Amino acid sequence: MHNETDMAIVTHGWTPMPRPNRHLTAMAKAVARLARPLLPDESGLLMGLELNASDSLRLIWWKRDDLSVVAQINAQPEGFCPADTEEGALQEAAFDLLEYLGGRWPNPPETLGVITDGTGVAFSSDHPQPSASGWLMRHVGGAAPLLAIVPLDSQGSCALLACPATGGFH
């Protein structure tokens, strides 16, 4: 028998954080909102945001159709785009989110990242680096679960990641 929470997980295809954190959720919502203009409707793009131990932040855009990389921006905080630009505002918010998330890790990985579709934000505790070779395919295939800080759009560019057991990748 499933309770309401279990049914929501099954329906939306995302595993929620085991212990919700209001501050982390607010930061993730800000990242998703700031990423939205950089992920145009109907573009079929999803974005990865990564922070490494050297404080270098990487923004990565992938095409949903073939999971190929479309663009990347790598920068240290002093090299971020101006804060009054869409990229700069996102870089600052993503840096803060990833720094905070890394601080919650018992032993922070060398590189920690999240994905967003402009609606939600998710990460993989087992495989924390979205740019790692095969990362997207592991998640499309269901080999590694994603934890949703804020649920991604199960009908949007991340739909293949939402329900790997019922979706197909062509």
What DSSP letter does each residue of 76-126 carry, written as one string?
-GGGSPPTTSHHHHHHHHHHHHHHHHHHTSSS--SEEEEEE-SS-EEE-SS
Highest mean pLDDT among 38-47, 64-73, 87-96: 87-96
Cβ burial, residue 115 (10 Å; 0-12/13-18/19+): buried
Which is more confidently placed, 167 or 59?
A: 59
Task: Name the band, by pLDDT with cuts 50, 70 and 90, for residue 13.
Answer: low
| pLDDT tens profile 108-165 | 899 999 999 999 999 988 889 999 988 887 777 667 778 889 988 877 777 666 644 4
Contact between residue 87 and residue 81 where contact means Cβ atoms under 8 Å apart? yes
Q: Which sequence spans correspond to the domains of the chain?
A: 4-159
